[in-house]
Amino acid sequence: MVCLGNICRSPLAEGVLQHKAWKAGLQWSVESAGTGAWHTGEPPHHLSIKVAKHNGVDISKQRARQFAKEDFLNYDFIYVMDSSNYIDVKQMSGKLWKEDKVDLLLNELYPGENRAVPDPWYGKEDGYHSVYELIDKACDKIIEKYIAGSTRYEVKSTDKSSNE
């Protein structure tokens, strides 16, 4: 799960998907990162922690880290929160880039539409709740597709750098 700073959206996505995977009996390792390094080592934003806790998910022990091209070797799939993250991950990955390993998270709910998970950074708590709901629904879809036997959630569009 990748966003810009790894303190708002991607920590929520990591926590939600890991929680749902455990509940489904799946032994997945879910991690998150940011394309920027501004917050490396910091915990998630206090409102992300609060909203996650309100929904029964503890993300308080997470610490921000920057995405590394080696993540392509270490993870089966990489979800990004918006088209800017997609472009950044592509540029940061260099020769390890594989388009079929990366997609926008909300393409799970809205295939091929390349919708962004809004960044709640400058907003109020209600924005974090809205973001949580979107992430929660997308993570439900990921688990549902996996359990149904999908070998990989089809990449719906070849150009994910537009239509935020």
Q: Which of 8, 9, 103, 136 is catalytic?
A: 9
Q: In the 8-state DSSP scheme, what is residue 110?
A: S
Residue type, 160: K
Q: How far apart are the first and last CA of the chain?
A: 17
Q: Would residue 9 show up in a list of annotated catalytic residues for this protein?
A: yes
Of residues 71, 88, 103, 119, which has the active-site annotation?
119
**Residue 136: active-site member:** no
CA-CA distance, 89 to 35, in Å (whole number)?
Answer: 7
Q: Which of 3, 8, 71, 115 is catalytic?
A: 3
Q: Catalytic annotation on 119?
A: yes
**In the β-sheet with 2-3, what is the strand arrangement from edge to edge?**
33-34, 2-3, 78-80, 102-104
Distance CA 5, CA 2 (A): 9
Integer Cα distance of 48 and 120 in angstroms: 9
Crossing angle of helices 9-23 and 125-147, rounded to 10°: 40
24 φ/ψ angles, rounded to the nearest 5 degrees: -85, 0
**Locus of tokens 């809004």:** 118
Question: Which residues are the active-site residues?
Answer: 3, 9, 119
